Copies of this chain bind each other. A is one copy, B any other.
Amino acid sequence: MENKDTAVEEGDTMADKATIIVHSGDMDKIYSALIIANGALAMGMEVSLFFTFWGLQRLKKGGLEKGPLSKMHMLGLGKWMVKRKMTKVGVASLEKLLQDFNELGGKILACDMTMEIMGIRKEDLRDDLISDYCAVGTYVNEARESSITLFI
């Protein structure tokens, strides 16, 4: 692959890269996204997280821990219970996972259309962590050459 930004030719090979759309803002899904992302980085992959819709809410200042569970009342496992158990078994907080992701070289992309729709300004977001504000074209360019593509 001589030029990463040109269109992938029919029959081209894939890069060792993961591109994940984080559409959901649910706490358990943000955990899944970051655990997969950090695992992939630790194993030498390139990783991009593209935050959109409810997911982008989690990148607002103070917003990371504010997501609900995707299944609130199942098994009586409430949100704070899950967090307490996670700490107990040694899973890092979302904040720590996000910082690690950034330090390990992961790329955080914010969907600018979501910002417009939801009236989110750059100053509302954790600008220090965001690599780029972009649209679907950037996502497609990353995803089309990624060996792992997920929508969470």
Contacts and interface: CB of A to CB of B under 8 A. Distances in A.
Contact of A39 (B23, B25, B54, B139): B139
Interface stretch (A100-108, A122-130, A141-149): A141-149
A16 B10 contact: yes
- Interface residues of A toward B: which range? 35 or more
A65 interface: no
B140 A113 contact: no
A144 B144 CA distance: 14
A16 B7 contact: yes
10 contacts: A8-B16, A11-B15, A32-B53, A75-B118, A146-B148, A147-B149, A148-B149, A149-B149, A150-B150, A151-B151
